[in-house]
Amino acid sequence: MRKKIETFSEKITNWIGSVQSIVFHTIFFGVAFALRFFGVSSSDILLALTTLVSLEAIYLAIFIQMTVNKQIKELEEVSEDIDEIQEDIDEIQEDIEDIEEEDNDEDEMLERIEDTLGKLIEEVMELKKHQSDK
């Protein structure tokens, strides 16, 4: 039952904001004031119109508030999704930083190995030179 009421209120709220609503209200008010030409007193017309417009305003306020509440709920859900996505992005960023650190560590290790090999090659060359001098 609640879902039907919510669906109905959404349809009414959407219709109120349409061109058809403007046309309907214009014709309705025109007909109401035209009742004066059929012998209905102005005070009766104004009393009926005032009552109808007041009731319509109350219901419109309720419908609009229901729509606002629904939008707030949807925005909260989107906000939660954004927070989850941000957490995922932060985790990915940390993973990237870890990988970069590992790459830097590997590069440093390779440079040390290269330096050590270079020194060893120099020592081997010197030893060969000393061997050949003998």
* Domain layout of the chain by residue ranges: 2-133
Secondary structure of the chain as H, E, C letters: CHHHHHHHHHHHHHHHCCHHHHHHHHHHHHHHHHHHHHCCCHHHHHHHHHHHHHHHHHHHHHHHHHHHHHHHHHHHHHHHHHHHHHHHHHHHHHHHHHHHHHHHHHHHHHHHHHHHHHHHHHHHHHHHHHHHHC
- 54 pLDDT exceeds 90? yes
CB 16 within 8 A of CB 60: yes
Per residue in 73-125, pLDDT tens?
A: 999 999 999 999 999 898 998 888 888 777 777 778 878 888 888 888 888 88
CA-to-CA distance for 105 and 112, rounded, in angstroms?
A: 11
Per residue in 6-40, pLDDT tens?
A: 888 788 888 888 999 999 999 999 999 999 999 99
